[in-house]
Each structure stands twice: as structure tokens, then as C-alpha cells.
A = this chain, B = another copy of it.
């Protein structure tokens, strides 16, 4: 393996407080999201499921907290925080500029597959990456499972987008429209000519001149994601479902698997670079039919 660059001592020092703040934000979001999801399970009389928490250490540097909930309302949720650093394999970021160097990366990923076909699946990812420069990436998107709800105009999606736009506006980030288009372009299942979900926001290689504002934006996206999702749960939780609707959900979850295993950069990056397979694939739905 050839190394063109290393993270300079200077870069590490320059970004120290930003990196520390980013980590704090991710950990705080992780705790808050886990708490909120567990509350739905505690409301349910059937079971009182808790997140199974696995703290892990990465031999090459760093570690994380993987948390998986399997409940009766939240059929499966994965909430993962990690900070990792060390040597980055050539081309791993699919970015000429980062080929090849040391790296530092911290982030949170959340995926929620609810039991009810009426409640959409939802996904959040926020990250900060530093090589000889640094940037932010991430996004949030919604995937309704019933055909009747798979439209930008669906009530849940409208609400979800409103909260994400508010996260942009509230942090004076003027790129909501661009981030929304990025999301549609990214979560696209080419071989089906179908979108995975109904939208959200997606950004990468993002950095403004104001890192405090960028961090506040990340925090707000995470916060608004779970606040919007709580309302979406509440709006749908009392609805009964038919056997046919359950079948439609299991069938459409197949699309989710197809996207994640064939196109999702994070999943493929993780699996190719020897990441924790069970954490990475915890994004896959609990039960799927084809």
C-alpha cells in the first residue's frame, strides 16, 4: 500500500475542537434517539424490549457503540455511533483527493424498520471526516412501505421534508433544494428504475466557512429527524393493517435490501474494508419476502 499523504499534526490540532464537538453531538443524538425509540416499546404492553448495546474497539484505531432494538412497535432499529482513524485504503472514499492518506472519521447511523406497514422505514446518517482537510456528510430519508404512500405528497413525507427544511433554514444553510435533489439521485434503484423511498436530504463533501454553523446544522438534522419520526409514528400507530398490507411491506422491504447490498456506498465501503458485518448489515430489514 502506497501512502501519498498523512494527516498533518497541524490538521489534527486545527480540527481538534471541531472533531470533539462533532463527536459530542453524535453521541448525544445517539442517546436521544435510542431513548425515544425505547419509549415506544415501553408503551407497548406486550414486551418491554431494550436496545442491545455492543461497545466495540477497532484494532487499527477507534471504536464505537452498536445498538440494536427488536421490539413489537419498532420491529428492528439499528443505531450506530463510531469514531475510527488510521490508514485509509486507496480509493476507499471514491475520491481522488483522499487517495491515499490517514483519516479520522466519526459518525452516527440510524435505521428504523417499524412493525406496522403504515409507518415508513427511516434512515439517518451524519458524519465528519478528516484527512488533510475535513468535511461533513450525511442525510435523512423516508421509505413508506405501502404503494399508496409512496409519493412526495404523502402526509408523512411532507412532514418529514418540512422538518428537514427547517433544520437547513434554522442553521442558515441555504442548500435544502440541492440536498433534496441529491437524496433523490442517491437513493435510486437503477435495475428497477425506482426510487428507494420518497425523499429527504443528502449531502457529502460539505463544509461552509463557518464550522460552528455546520455542526449546529448536523445537530439540528438529527434532532428534527427523530422529532418528525415521532409524529409520523403517532399519526399511524393506531391504524390496523390487513394481511395484504403486511405482505406488501415484506415485499417492498426487498427493494431496501437490493439498494443497500448493491448501491449503498457506506454499506459496500464498510464490507470491503473489513468493517463489523453485523453492524453494517443491521440496516437490513428484519423480515423480507421476494
Cβ contact within 8 Å between B290 and A281: yes
A232 at the interface (CB under 8 A from B): no
Cβ contact within 8 Å between A261 and B257: yes
Report A255 CB to chain B, min CB distance, Å: 10
Cβ contact within 8 Å between B288 and A289: yes
Give Cα A25 to B76, complex, Å.
Answer: 47
Report A80 CB to chain B, min CB distance, Å: 15
Give Cα A97 to B108, complex, Å.
Answer: 46
Least CB separation from A262: chain B residue: B261
Interface string of A243-271 (1 = CB under 8 A from B): 00000001000100110011000000001
**Which one of B76, B250, B258, B285 contacts A261 once the chains associate, using CB atoms below 8 Å?**
B258
Least CB separation from A260: chain B residue: B261
Give Cα A230 to B250, complex, Å.
Answer: 31
Q: Which residues of B contact A277 (CB under 8 A)?
A: 191-192
Give Cα A285 to B287, complex, Å.
Answer: 12
Q: Which residues of B contact A254 (CB under 8 A)?
A: 284
Cβ contact within 8 Å between A250 and B191: no
Cβ contact within 8 Å between A289 and B287: yes
Q: Which residues of B contact A282 (CB under 8 A)?
A: 290
Q: Which residues of B contact A272 (CB under 8 A)?
A: 191
Give Cα A239 to B191, complex, Å.
Answer: 40
A286 at the interface (CB under 8 A from B): yes
Q: Which residues of B contact A286 (CB under 8 A)?
A: 289-290
Q: Which residues of B contact A76 (CB under 8 A)?
A: 290
Give Cα A286 to B254, complex, Å.
Answer: 10
Q: Which residues of B contact A250 (CB under 8 A)?
A: 287
Report A197 CB to chain B, min CB distance, Å: 18
Report A10 CB to chain B, min CB distance, Å: 36
Give Cα A272 to B192, complex, Å.
Answer: 11
Cβ contact within 8 Å between B288 and A191: no
Least CB separation from A113: chain B residue: B290
Report A112 CB to chain B, min CB distance, Å: 14
Give Cα A103 to B271, complex, Å.
Answer: 35
Residues of A participating in the B interface, judged by any CB pair closer than 8 Å? 76, 191-192, 250, 254, 257-258, 261-262, 271-272, 277, 281-282, 284-290
Apart from A285-B290, A286-B289, A287-B287, 8 more pairs, CB < 8 Å: A191-B271, A257-B257, A257-B261, A258-B261, A258-B281, A281-B290, A287-B288, A288-B288
Query: 13 A–B contact pairs at CB < 8 A?
Result: A192-B277, A254-B284, A257-B288, A257-B290, A258-B261, A258-B281, A261-B261, A261-B262, A262-B262, A282-B290, A284-B290, A285-B290, A288-B288
